[in-house]
């Protein structure tokens, strides 16, 4: 069994932290001695012990003389927790294998260098691409201070997200919708436009059968602050807040009414009468939101694509055809003149959820490190 074998075990552990570690990365670690797994762990929550610490403590005395496999370079600084490098040295770890270096430019390489200086050999880059994919949100946020943007949409085969009446229940089946709720659990925020709130009156919460799902922060684009106080997302019990993004000069009585309902108002720049999406991303990043799932509707999706903020897409296609040109399209508003001006989607993967098909792909590469 080689280094990749054990690193893949650590990567499988890392993803157990989905939805629980933001703004920290997801990290997994295993301790191996004489070719045998003797300890494992992952980063379970913000402020809790790091993966290396959990794995070493699980190994106990067997960590002495063992090899540590960890998906992210061990930290050599004190943050919410002490430096992991000290724990590694004290445990008597003989060798450390790392999947990816820390993307934080202020600390990158510090942990590996320190361990090497203490006589502990460090191997880096094992399963690096898999580790980067797991932590694509963390990599972008730590390097740019802007949230990683996912777009999800569900349409018929002829490209309609709703019938002409606005009815969209349901385009896709239960398995596809469960996947979307897992996405909601994973991200910090979910964003829709005010038209979606009016038509669908959504809760924008996470509902999972096997996990106590985390509700994302609900972000509503509402240029003129017209949201109804009876909107479901203002009525429910949830640990996450609702932020309504509006123009620079909303009516004070509307702001007061929304705040009485427990919502908050975020004033943002406008462009052609709509929320300026690129500037908004800086504001949301400043609030500490590392990832946003945009769920629509068609005008919001179009604005997001045109502004160039989207990193990754999940397009669901149901085996249904509306058969007219009056349903609601995936995107609305002006597009480019030429097909050559379309937005390329790369690194495509295709998934099945019952009869529904999902296309996953990337619009923007990650910052390298």
For residue 356, CA distances in Å to 152, 184, 210 come to: 14, 19, 22
Q: How far apart are CA 363 and CA 358, in angstroms?
A: 16
Instruction: Please check whether residue 92 is in contact with residue 56, taking contact to mean a CB–CB distance below 8 angstroms.
Output: no
- For 244-274, the DSSP string reads EEE-SS--HHHHHHHHHTT-EEEE--EETTE
| Residue 52 a catalytic site member | yes
Q: Which helix (H) or strand (E) holds 286?
A: helix 277-286
> Hey, what are 369's tokens?
């490190």
For 138-142, which contacts have Cβ atoms below 8 Å and span 24 or more sequence positions?
138/23, 138/24, 138/25, 138/26, 138/103, 138/290, 139/103, 139/366, 139/367, 139/369, 140/311, 140/366, 140/367, 141/23, 141/285, 141/290, 141/291, 142/103, 142/104
Coil, strand, or helix at residue 239? coil
Candidates 163, 230, 218; CA nearest to 192 is 218
Q: How far apart are CA 41 and CA 57, in angstroms?
A: 9
Instruction: Please check whether residue 56 is in contact with residue 63, taking contact to mean a CB–CB distance below 8 angstroms.
Output: yes
CA 72 to chain centroid: 18
Q: How far apart are CA 123 and CA 132, in angstroms?
A: 17
Of the residues 52, 73, 117, 174, which is catalytic? Answer: 52
Instruction: Please check whether residue 294 is in contact with residue 284, taking contact to mean a CB–CB distance below 8 angstroms.
Output: no
Instruction: Please check whether residue 71 is in contact with residue 97, taking contact to mean a CB–CB distance below 8 angstroms.
Output: no
User: What is the 8-class DSSP label of residue 64?
Assistant: T
Active site residues: 52
């Amino acid at each position: 069994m080689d280094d990749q074998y054990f690193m893949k075990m650590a990567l499988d552990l890392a993803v157990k932290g989905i939805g629980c570690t933001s703004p920290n990365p997801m990290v997994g670690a295993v301790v191996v001695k004489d070719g045998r797994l003797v300890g494992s762990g992952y980063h379970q929550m913000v402020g809790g012990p790091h993966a290396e610490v959990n794995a070493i403590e699980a190994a106990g005395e067997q960590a002495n003389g063992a090899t540590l496999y960890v998906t992210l370079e061990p930290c050599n600084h004190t943050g919410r927790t002490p430096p992991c490098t000290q724990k590694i040295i004290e445990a008597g770890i003989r060798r450390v294998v790392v999947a990816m270096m820390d993307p934080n430019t202020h600390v990158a390489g510090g942990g590996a260098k320190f361990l090497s200086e203490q006589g502990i050999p460090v191997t880096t880059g094992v399963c690096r691409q898999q580790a980067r994919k797991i932590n694509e949100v963390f990599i972008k946020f730590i390097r740019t201070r802007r949230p990683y943007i996912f777009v999800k949409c569900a349409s018929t085969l002829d490209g309609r997200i709703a019938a002409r009446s606005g009815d969209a229940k349901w385009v896709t089946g239960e398995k596809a919708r469960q996947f979307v709720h897992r996405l909601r659990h994973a991200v910090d925020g979910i964003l829709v436009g005010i038209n979606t709130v009016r038509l669908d009156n959504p809760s924008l919460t996470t509902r999972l059968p096997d996990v106590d799902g985390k509700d994302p922060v609900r972000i509503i684009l509402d240029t003129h602050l017209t949201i109804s106080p009876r909107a479901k997302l203002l009525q429910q019990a949830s640990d996450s807040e609702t932020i309504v993004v509006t123009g620079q000069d909303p009516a004070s009585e509307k702001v007061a009414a929304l705040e009485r309902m427990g919502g908050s108002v975020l004033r943002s720049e406008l462009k052609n009468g709509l929320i300026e999406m690129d500037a908004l991303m800086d504001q949301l990043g400043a609030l500490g939101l590392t990832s946003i799932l945009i769920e629509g509707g068609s005008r919001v999706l179009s604005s997001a694509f045109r502004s160039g903020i989207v990193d990754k897409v999940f397009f669901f296609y149901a085996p249904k055809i509306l058969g007219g040109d009056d349903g609601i399209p995936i995107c609305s508003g002006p597009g480019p003149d030429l097909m050559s001006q379309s937005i390329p989607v790369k690194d495509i993967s295709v998934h099945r959820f019952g009869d529904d098909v999902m296309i996953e792909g990337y619009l923007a590469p990650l910052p390298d490190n």
